[in-house]
Amino acid sequence: MTILQKPFVGQSLPVETMPETIPNGPGAAAILAAGIGCATIGILALAGDASKAINSLLNFYNPSGALSGVTTVAIIVWLVAWFILARRWEKKTVAMSRVNIAAFALLLVGVLLTFPPFMDFLQGR
């Protein structure tokens, strides 16, 4: 059987004509790392708003205040997460639906924790 011939139902393909699957691990790593980065922004924003010590620790540049540290640390966490996940999943095929659900949940955490009324609610203000 040549590559151009389609197999019949129940007929198996010889090993040399089976299509190769491309691993989706690196793409999944990028998606999940983006979610991790978003959640990090939310968590650090809440922590900086709730604690004066963390706020001053995250103040890398006075004109922008703690936001400079929040975004800088979140970018570092995002890049490290992407690097680690991409290395671990380099040649693997992972369940994209689970990765997408986890990434969306982390994105939702990041959005909620940067929404001022929700942040104030969590802090009891």
pTM tops 0.75, yes or no: yes
Per-residue pLDDT of the chain (125 residues; tens, 9 = 90+): 455 555 555 555 555 555 567 889 999 999 999 999 999 999 999 999 999 999 999 999 999 999 999 999 999 999 999 999 999 999 999 999 999 999 999 999 999 999 999 999 998 88
Contacts of 123 (CB under 8 A, 6+ apart): 46, 49, 50
In single-letter form, the type of residue at position 95 comes to A
In contact, 66 and 58? CB cutoff 8 Å: yes
In contact, 73 and 44? CB cutoff 8 Å: yes
Handedness of CA 104, 26, 76, 64 (dihedral sign): negative
